[in-house]
Amino acid sequence: MKAKVIALSLVLAFVVASPRAAETTAPKENVFATRPLGIQVSIKMVGPYMEAADLQIICLFKHKPSGDTYQGAAKDTDAHLGGLLSALRKRGEFVGELGETFLFTPSKGSIPAKRFMVIGLGEEKELSLDSLRLVGRIAAREAVRLQAKHVAWAPVIRDQGNSAIDVGEGDRAFVEQLLSAYDTEKRLQAQGLAPKFSIEALVVEAGPAYFDDAVKQVGEGVESVSAELATRDATPYGSTEK
């Protein structure tokens, strides 16, 4: 009888403790030691419906009348948003042309991000690293305009059924151009040509299969673009003399 009581107690303890353990388990994350332009850059194993960002960004291809592909994180994100993304595309209210943006505030209790932005990738067959470089520049300028201190980005390209670009290379292209465009924003601010504002954190969201490559590629990209920005012309953009 005593043995049964002890066994039951252990089972109850496990049931009570297990949810707590699950709640406190942090997702895998690699935070880079270098803080380019004061931004903490990291690769995090989370989906775009999980990060408590000021601005969560994803990319979507141009809508296909035959039907858009939603898998993995793309499907889960759409589900958490109550089908909002798929509804917008089916109705032709977000076409997804390259560089097209759509910003909204997620409904309460749907996802933790304060604001959500979709940036179009254009025709799927025309996807290139240059497409993601453009997305990076747009993301930087929109984050500054919206004064988003904590920015998160997930390309969700694989989750739309496309494997044309290596995930790590795409992440690197995005991050390099985001930092390059943000450097210009900071120079404008320093010259009194724009209101002062700083992005504090950038999270690149990656699935388990692509996490390590993203860490490698983005790390190299951060070092490369930091060295490049250090050589930029520091001369003021315009003269105030008349």
Domain ranges, residue 67: 27-229
Strand partners, 57: 117, 153
Residue 161 resides in a domain: yes
Residue 166 lies in a domain: yes
Residue 117 pLDDT: 98
111 — phi, psi (to 5°)?
A: -140, 160
Residue 133's CATH number: 3.40.220.10
d(CA 157, CA 168): 12
Q: What is the mean pLDDT of each run of 10 residues along the chain (242 residues)?
A: 46 41 76 97 98 98 93 96 96 96 97 98 98 98 98 97 97 98 98 97 97 98 97 89 60
Coil, helix or strand for 182? helix
Q: Decide if 15 is inside a domain.
A: no
**Could you tell me which residues come within 8 angstroms of residue 220 by beta carbon, excluding any fewer than 6 positions away?**
172
Q: What are phi and psi of 25, to 5 degrees?
A: -75, 115
Q: Would you say residue 181 lies in a domain?
A: yes
- The verdict on residue 76 lying in a domain is yes
How many structural domains comprise the chain? 1
With beta carbons less than 8 A apart as the criterion, state whether 99 and 120 touch: yes
Q: What is the pLDDT of residue 10?
A: 42
The pLDDT value recorded for residue 240 is 62
| β-bridge partners, 66 | none
**CA pair distance 242, 233, nearest whole angstrom:** 23
Q: What is the pLDDT of residue 239?
A: 73
SS3 content of the chain, % helix, strand, coil (to 5): 45, 15, 40
